[in-house]
Amino acid sequence: MNTIILAADDTWLNNPVVKGELWNATTETLLMTAWATVLAAIFGLIFGVVLTATRQDGILPNRPTNAILGFIVNVGRAIPFIILMVMMINITRMIIGQATGWRGAMIPLAISAIPYFARMVESNLTNVDRGKIEAAQMMGASRYRILTGVIVREAVPTLIQSLTILCITIIGYTAMAGAVGAGGLGALAINQGYYRTQMDVLLIIVVVIVVIVSIVQFVGDMLSRLVDHR
């Protein structure tokens, strides 16, 4: 059994791993997170809007479409991220030419997060005040106008909050992706912090991740308050 040994006080910030690899690992984590969040946000928003619009009580009710898309989203949410990443190795290689490194993790991260975000979007949109939707209908607004100008617009503050949660969740996924060759802070923590029992490296990486998550949460809360005119 491995024994974790605390590094000497003078090795923490002077550790060659921290000085030579921490910045690159942080950059890779940020790139993975940014690209995966953008892709998941775009497709998750589309799927969430369609799920909301095609509900039985939606603006464009369509039971077959809702059932099929709902089934796809549920299946996507049920597959653990690590298993999905392994399953998508060949697909990822065909799309971007590699299945390892931060680029190789970007596609599986997005695919795993899309169903998760789609359900959050659906929840945000269905919670919009029905009175505002009915008022727009009485004024003769088109279905498209109601969907985009009323439902989506009214849900923007909560959508931003959901996007913040999505981004933070993906940051956590990147750490898991590091265990299967994705690079980033997760890989550095496992390879250097755990396997080589460098506790200083491990703790510094935890601090960096906490800082990143805190910044994302702060920005998300600020943007949500700025657009909330209720």
List the domain boundaries for the chain: 9-227
Report the b/e string of 163-192 with b at 16+ CB within 10 A.
bbbbbbbbbebbbbbbebebbbbbbbbbbb
Q: How confident is the model at residue 10 (pLDDT cuts 50, 70, 90)?
A: low
What pLDDT is attached to residue 6? 46
Query: Is the backbone of residue 15 left (phi > 0), alpha (psi -120 to 50) or beta?
Result: beta
- Condensed to tens digits (0 to 9), the pLDDT of residues 121-170 reads 999 999 888 888 888 878 877 888 888 888 888 899 999 999 999 999 99
- Condensed to tens digits (0 to 9), the pLDDT of residues 36-69 reads 999 999 999 999 999 999 998 888 899 999 999 9
- Condensed to tens digits (0 to 9), the pLDDT of residues 165-215 reads 999 999 989 888 887 778 888 888 888 777 777 788 888 889 999 999 999
Superfamily of domain 9-227: MetI-like (1.10.3720.10)
Residue 159 contacts residue 121 (beta carbons within 8 Å):
yes
Residue 8 has pLDDT above 70, yes or no: no
CA distance to 125, 160, 166, per residue, from 227 (Å): 16, 9, 19
- Condensed to tens digits (0 to 9), the pLDDT of residues 70-114 reads 999 999 999 988 888 888 888 888 888 777 788 888 899 999 999
